[in-house]
Amino acid sequence: MQLERTHKKLGLRGLEAVEIVENLNTSLSTYQIFYHKMQNFHWNVEGPDFFDIQDITEKLYKESMKNIDTIAERVRLLGGVPNYRLSDYINNSKIVEDTHDLSGDNIKVILLEDVETLLKVLSETADYSINHNDYGTVHVMQEMIHGLEMMHYKLQSWLK
């Protein structure tokens, strides 16, 4: 069944826009916690994997910052307000804050788990958006998913 799309300025109207914004805000919150974890790992890693983890986490937090901005702008475009409080990020994120074990071995496992969680959240947002004919959000999510899938592949290969 094809839904009729109506636009108010650049955003969708009604319940579909509200629900897409909720999904986007979950993605935004999850990405924010991921971003902060990557910075923490980058700053505090020690051990034989120091240089590798420093490079990987720097790449991830820089890419995360771009994606966070893109998601927040998408929320605004749809007429919503992006989550902006730290408490909102913590309460709505599907990624949890890290432990105090900042060994390279522990960080590598957490990196893979968090990338998997982020992929799941972004995929759920894309699925919800495609079901509501919001192809702009789908496109944004697909680009982020593609980049994270490549990182997931590399992390899996590194952990073997």
Q: What percent of the chain has pLDDT over 70?
A: 91
User: What are 78-100's pLDDT values in tens digits?
Assistant: 889 999 999 999 999 999 987 77
Biggest CA-to-CA distance, the chain: 57
Instruction: Name the residue ranges covered by the structural domains of the chain.
Output: 14-159
Contact criterion met (CB below 8 Å) for 84 and 78: no
Which range of 17-21, 29-33, 79-83 scores highest in mean pLDDT? It is 29-33
d(CA 149, CA 80): 28
Whole-prediction pTM value? 0.90
DSSP 9: T
CA distances from 119 to 4, 26, 43, 144 (A): 29, 12, 24, 9
User: What are 32-53's pLDDT values in tens digits?
Assistant: 999 999 999 999 998 999 999 9
Contact criterion met (CB below 8 Å) for 47 and 102: no
Contact criterion met (CB below 8 Å) for 78 and 100: no
DSSP assignment of 53-87 equals HHHHHHHHHHHHHHHHHHHHHHHHHTT-----SHH
d(CA 146, CA 17): 24
Which CATH fold would you assign to the domain 14-159?
Ferritin (1.20.1260)
